[in-house]
A and B are shown apart, each in its own frame.
Chain A
Amino acid sequence: MTKNNLSTSADKNLSYPKAIGYISMVDPKESVCQDCRSCELYCAAVHEAACGLELTRIWESRDPFRGEYFAYTCKQCIAPSCVAACPEDAMYIDEKTGARCIDEEKCNGCQKCIRACPVEPPRINYNSVKKKAVKCDLCKDRADGPVCVQMCPTMCLTLKKYK
Chain B
Amino acid sequence: MSEQYGWAGQILRVNLSTGAFSTIDTMKYVPKYIGGYGIALRLFWEEMKPGIKAFDPENKVFIMNGVASGTMSPSSGRVNFLGISPHSYPEQPTNTSIGGHFPARLKWNGYDGIILEGKSEEPCYLVIENGKPRLEPAKGLWGLGLIDSQQILQDRYGKNRCDIYGIGPAGENLIRYAIVGCGAHNATGQGGMGAVLGSKKLKAIVLVGGKHQVKVKDPEAAIKAILEFYPKKRKRPMIYANLGDKPDNPWWPEWTGGKDIFDNHAKDWMGSIHNMPYPIFAKSCATGCLGGCGFFEFKNVPAVSRPGLALGMTGCVHTRYEQFFDRLEGEKNFEKGFEVHVLAQQLGFNHHEINYGIVPWLHYTKQLGIDTESLMGMPTDVRDHEWWIKLLNMIVYRKGFGDTLAEGLRRTVEILGPEKYWFPEYQGPEAAREGDTNPVKYPVAGIGGWGYVSRGILADHGMGPAGALPGALCWMIDTRDSHHNKWPDWIHDQFLGYVMKEPDKYGTPFVIKWAKDATMRGILIDCLPACFQFPLRKHMGWQWDHEEIGEGTKSTGFEARLFSAVTGVEVTEAEYYKAGESIH
Contact = CB atoms under 8 A, between A and B. Distances in A.
Interface of A: 26, 28-32, 34-38, 41-42, 44-46, 48-55, 59, 61-67, 69, 128-129, 147, 151-156
Given A46-B223, A62-B160, A129-B213, A28 B238 contact: yes
Given A41-B104, A129-B1, 13 more contacts: A31-B235, A32-B236, A38-B289, A41-B287, A46-B220, A46-B223, A49-B216, A50-B1, A51-B70, A54-B213, A65-B151, A67-B281, A67-B299
Contact of A61 (B151, B159, B212): B159
Contacts of B104: 37, 41
Interface string B208-233: 01111111111110110000001101
Contacts of A32: 236-238, 281
Interface stretch (B165-173, B290-298, B385-393): B290-298
B72 A128 contact: no
B233 A51 contact: no
A39 B390 CA distance: 44
Given A50-B216, A66-B299, A59 B160 contact: yes
Contacts of B147: 65
Q: Is the interface of B mostly helix, strand, loop or mixed?
A: loop
Given A30-B235, A34-B284, A147-B223, A65 B213 contact: no
B101 interface: yes
A37 B288 contact: yes
A34 B282 contact: yes
Nearest to B154: A65
A52 B70 contact: yes
Chain A at the B interface: mostly helix, strand, loop or mixed?
A: loop
Contact of B219 (A34, A49, A53): A49
A46 B219 contact: yes
Given A41-B288, A50-B214, A67 B237 contact: no
B223 A151 contact: yes
A54 B211 contact: yes
Contacts of B238: 28-29, 32
B299 A154 contact: no
B233 A153 contact: yes
B108 A65 contact: no
A152 B290 CA distance: 8
Interface centre among A37, A62, A69 (most CB of B within 10 A): A37
B306 interface: no
B236 A41 contact: no
A37 B77 CA distance: 10
A63 B223 contact: no
Nearest to B295: A34
B215 A50 contact: yes
B70 A154 contact: no
A76 B38 CA distance: 45
A154 B183 contact: no
A65 B151 CA distance: 7
Nearest to B214: A51
Contacts of B53: none
B211 A156 contact: no
B184 A64 contact: yes
Which residue of B160, B183, B219, B281 has the most chain A CB atoms within 10 A of its CB atom?
A: B219
A77 B297 CA distance: 35
Contacts of B183: 64-65
Contact of B237 (A31, A37, A42, A66): A31
Q: Which 7 A-B pairs have the closest CB atoms?
A: A64-B183, A52-B213, A31-B235, A41-B72, A67-B299, A45-B219, A154-B236
Interface in B528-544: none
B289 A153 contact: yes
B134 to A, nearest CB: 20
22 contacts: A31-B236, A34-B283, A35-B283, A36-B288, A36-B290, A38-B72, A41-B72, A45-B219, A45-B222, A46-B219, A50-B1, A50-B216, A51-B108, A52-B213, A53-B108, A53-B209, A61-B160, A65-B311, A67-B299, A151-B230, A154-B236, A155-B234
A154 B209 contact: no
A66 B154 CA distance: 12
B454 interface: no
A151 B290 CA distance: 9
B254 to A, nearest CB: 15
Contact of B72 (A28, A42, A154, A156): A42
A156 B223 contact: no
A52 B214 contact: yes
Nearest to A29: B237
Contacts of B219: 42, 45-46, 49
Contact of A65 (B184, B215, B289): B184
B556 interface: no
Contact of B212 (A26, A28, A52): A52
A66 B279 CA distance: 13
